[in-house]
Structure 1
């Protein structure tokens, strides 16, 4: 049974998360020739204060982007 774990920054709408889960499931069914009920998808949502790129959190990036407008 394939288990797919994805880590994303929190805040995306439920429709987008469901679309990702469906797309990952569909791709796994095709790639591994398994049934959809055999595929597990786990979305781990990380608070934007705990998610960083190049030492800058997503929250800081959002603040900087808002300040430059």
Structure 2
């Protein structure tokens, strides 16, 4: 059972996350030949102030 974990900053819509899950699932099915039903996708969202880029939080950078 392939388990794919995605870490990203908060702010995407539910529709965007649904599309991401579908696209990742399709890619795993294609690349590994895994049954679609066995693919798990976990999305971990974090606040922008918990994501640092070049020593500064993404929130402070306006991202």
TM-score bucket of the superposed structures, by smaller chain: over 0.9
For the pair shown, the structure with the greater C-alpha radius of gyration is 1
Q: Which runs of 5+ in 2 are unaligned?
A: none
Q: How many residues align?
A: 63
Q: TM-score, normalised by structure 1?
A: 0.86
Q: What RMSD over aligned residues (CA atoms) do the two structures have, in Å?
A: 1.1
Structure 1 stretches (4+) deviating beyond 6 angstroms? none
Query: 1:14 Cα deviation (Å)?
Result: 0.8
Following the alignment from structure 1 to structure 2, what is the Cα–Cα distance between the partners of residues 46 and 35? 30
What is the TM-score when the length of structure 2 is the normalising length?
A: 0.94
Higher helix share: 1
